[in-house]
Amino acid sequence: MATQSPKNDLDYRPSYLAAAVAAGLVFALYVLTLSPDTAMWDTSEYIAAAYTLGIPHPPGNPFFVLLGRVFTLLPVAPTIAMRVNLLAALSSAVAAGMWFLITERVLVSWLAQRWQRVAGGSLAVLIGATAFTVWAQSVVNEKVYTVSLAGMAIVAWITVRWCDDPDGRKADRALVLVAYLLGLGYAVHMAGVLAAPAVGLAVLIRRPKTILRWKLLLACGAALVFGGSSFLTQPLRAAHFPAVNEGEPTACRTELNLKCTFSEGTYTAFMYNFNRGQYGKPELNERQAPVTAQIGMWWLYFKWQWIRDAHGITPGLQGSLASVFLVLGLLGGWVHWRRDPRSFAFFGPLMFTVTLVLIIYLNFKYGASQAPELGDSVAREVRDRDYFYLWSFSAWSVWAALGLMYVWESIAAVIAREKQRLGTELIELPTTRAWAISSPVLLLAFVPLFANWQAASRHGQTDTADFAIDMLNSVEPYGILVTVGDNDTFPLWYAQEVLGVRKDVLVANTSLLNTDWYTRQMLRRPVYDYDAANGPAVYRGKKWDKPVGKPFDMSMDEADAVPLGQELTQPQLFVKDHIRAIVKPRFLARADMFVLQMIKTGRRPMFFSRTSGGYGQELGLGPYLLTNGLARKLLPDSVKVGGDTVYVQNEGFVDVGRTDALAKAFRAPASLIRKNDWVDKPSVGIPYLYVSTYFVLSDAKSKQGDVKGAADALASARAVAKATQLDKELGLDSPPPPPPPMVSGDSVRKTQVPLQKRP
């Protein structure tokens, strides 16, 4: 494509070196604040999937998994997690470089000097890279969105260049490349095609005859399909049964072979996964919240970008900054339209797509932190969804930078102006001295860098991995641990599959137990040897027999046939040895049936994560549960008070000796105190669990007359509470209530067995 405009002799040569330097500085910032480990929500799932070449939750993100696997093999960081996190950092840095080039390109028809245009591009990089959500997602691979962002930004730059010369020698090849990148982006995340409508509209505006060129359209279609072809790896990889194999898009049950791979069953399973049938998203006309509330959610998260006031300390400042950056962006969009309609033909529709169209399409409920005064009177998302607008907040930096450049120019023009040549024209522009005098206005772009550093930085944070290890170590060798959500399950997968910690424990997530593929995986999972040398000291000195057999006595076909659930209209008696549990009338879900079946089979010790709240009690098992650290052990007979067993109000029976020994070996409290904050409220149940555990231990030791031990445990509770800001919410003058059930999260909250059984 052309580098000069024959009409007005403007210099359209991109400053690739300056863009690379800017992107390099962003990458350095992200490395400086990079997480050395995993984090809450989907981070552990994706790192484990990349490491095991597995399949994360539907539709599976196959190209990300392949790319992530490559990064796990590169010796660029000391840990697997850091290597995958570096992929996120590098992706966002590449996107920042693209926004630099686009901003600079828009300024070509506006400002005469290259240094001015480089300054504009640098502002876009600074604003976009330090917006809270962009920064926070770039220093730990919590999702796949940073890789998707890089793809969208590259597509945006290529399309802007195409708009300059749609009839040029390389124009057709550019469109084919864009189509390929869109397909590749879809294999990273469905949002990889967010730029497609804007690309199509730009083509119609700049070269409408393109739609009549069937060969070019055919080439673009082929490139799009080829870009997404990594989805074809899923049935093949699924049939190798990796440790992370969500959705299991294959009809093969024991091994990979041609007959089961090329079958209707595999096609049905693959399409069910590809279309995310597990989640049952409502139709767009079935609004989950008023559109005004959904726009309000975007505005809430937009306010977060410029100062993440997680604890509501400076709401006025946060709102004011958001208003300023909103006005700057709208002003920049207007200037973009007036000064460079060619590139606006693409970028304008792109911004419309990643804001209003995306808001309407996502059709979210009220945000987890939105309108707290409404409480539980409205349906809410299980977590804050700011990351879904990552593309919006990142791309907004282009318009915000253009708006700031316009303000800077306007102030400088008041100070002094002179005639300057812009292309073939002589126009009045501010003098160099005037630009310098008015430059303090640019300090506004530095606000997010300093305002978001503490909230966005993940430097040195290991609390999630530490929690996972603490939880697994609360389970006896070869135990089954019942969990309920993302945050008490995915970190355990990471600890087991990436760190190799306590693989002898079988994790049974109640939401995933409602699917057929998960129960099959539990039946397949081998019994791993217990690593006594690296296990907790409390389990040493005793022989732990390795169990033989499956966790429940069913074939895969029998497990598949278990229904979604059944309504119990009368109390039911469940009997196992001396356990006589009364299950009250309720809807007995498929997961409940499997939990009871594992107890009935009795090959392995059963533990319930304390993040499951009162789940064990709901099954009538309360009298048989004994608290051990972060979990509750199911005993073969009713628990009796005496010796190390103490009854604690609101918790139940506690094994004081074992809980104390486990607590002394806990890793997470120290890392939580070192972190000294907890930004994400929906996952605050994790530090709350430690506060509650220490209070329970303090109460139990007090009952035993151990005054010093009780005081030490109470001090630990208060230290964790203070570090995570829970002391302000709980008061801590008296023991807090027991931990609430874990928020289920994205991957499991809507998980259901298909109404029609998959082949």
- Residue for token pair 């690593």: 531
Tell me the pLDDT of the chain averaged across its residues: 91
Residues forming beta bridges with residue 648, ordered by sequence position: 652
pLDDT for 273:
87
What's the average model confidence in pLDDT over 336-357? 95
Q: What SS3 class is residue 281?
A: coil
Closest by CA position to 693, among listed 396, 502, 467: 467
pLDDT for 2:
35
Structure tokens that stand for 636 in this block: 């073969």
Phi, psi of 251 (to 5 degrees): -95, -5
pLDDT more than 90, % of the chain: 83
**CA 443 vs CA 37, 106, 306, 335, 557: distances in Å:** 33, 22, 13, 21, 65
Lowest mean pLDDT among 14-28, 116-130, 420-434: 420-434
Residues forming beta bridges with residue 573, ordered by sequence position: 582
**DSSP per-residue string spanning 595-639:** HHHHHHH-SS-EEEEGGGTTHHHHTT-GGGEEEETTEEEEPSS--
pLDDT for 4:
39
The pTM score is: 0.92
**Neighbour-count burial of 442, counting CB atoms closer than 10 A to its CB (0-12 exposed, 13-18 middle, 19+ buried):** middle
Separation between Cα atoms, residue 312 and residue 555, nearest integer Å: 53
Q: What SS3 class is residue 594?
A: helix
Whether a cis peptide bond, with omega within 30° of 0, leads into 571 is no
The confidence band for 713, taking pLDDT boundaries of 50, 70 and 90, is very high
**CA 400 vs CA 312, 326, 342, 397, 580: distances in Å:** 25, 8, 19, 5, 66
Given a cut of 80, whether residue 749 has pLDDT beyond it is no
Given a cut of 60, whether residue 748 has pLDDT beyond it is no
pLDDT more than 70, % of the chain: 95
What's the average model confidence in pLDDT over 714-718? 94
pLDDT for 735:
62
Separation between Cα atoms, residue 215 and residue 209, nearest integer Å: 13
What's the average model confidence in pLDDT over 293-300? 96
pLDDT tens track for 142-187: 889 999 999 999 999 999 999 999 998 999 999 999 999 999 999 9
Given a cut of 90, whether residue 550 has pLDDT beyond it is yes
What's the average model confidence in pLDDT over 25-54? 96
pLDDT for 746:
60
